[in-house]
Structure 1
């Protein structure tokens, strides 16, 4: 596999991992006991830590990509294993 393919697939895993990690560890102002700014949404996070968020996303995407790459090298699950709809035999 080329390094450009590895990078592209890893970035896809990273973008997917963002949505998995985003809801964890977020507390609203009501939950944190902090006063809200006028006009602020009730669901806005009280203290969003970008560094921690990026680190969690990077770790999760590295683990998922590692599993993907191990499967790619070892061939544990192939396209034939997940083909549920097969054309009729001739």
Structure 2
């Protein structure tokens, strides 16, 4: 994995974790009892975006480091996940 691949992998993991974190404990304005005029009652009351971004970054760093270490160690290669033989026949050195 090169630098660009590592950055792209981190970005994908970060956004996946972020979209999951957005769904954790949302509190609507209707549940809070304070609906702001002009907004739907289901709109979030307190987003706590900074807290979710920090938590997302910490979780993404941990997940990324595990995946990157597996890829860089060579424990899993592209041939290992080529279930349909699209990379062509394997050549074995004798």
Smaller-chain TM-score bracket: 0.7 to 0.9
* Secondary structure of 1:81's aligned partner: helix
* Secondary structure of 2:80's aligned partner: coil
Q: Deviations over 1:5-62 (max 9, x none)?
A: 433432232222221211012111222x321012212321111112101111101211
Count of residue pairs brought into register by the alignment: 88
Deviates more, 1:62-71 or 1:74-83: 74-83
Unaligned runs of 5+ in 2: 90-94
* Secondary structure of 2:26's aligned partner: coil
* Secondary structure of 2:79's aligned partner: coil
Unaligned runs of 5+ in 1: none
Larger Rg: 2
Residue in structure 2 matched with residue 21 of structure 1 by the alignment: 21
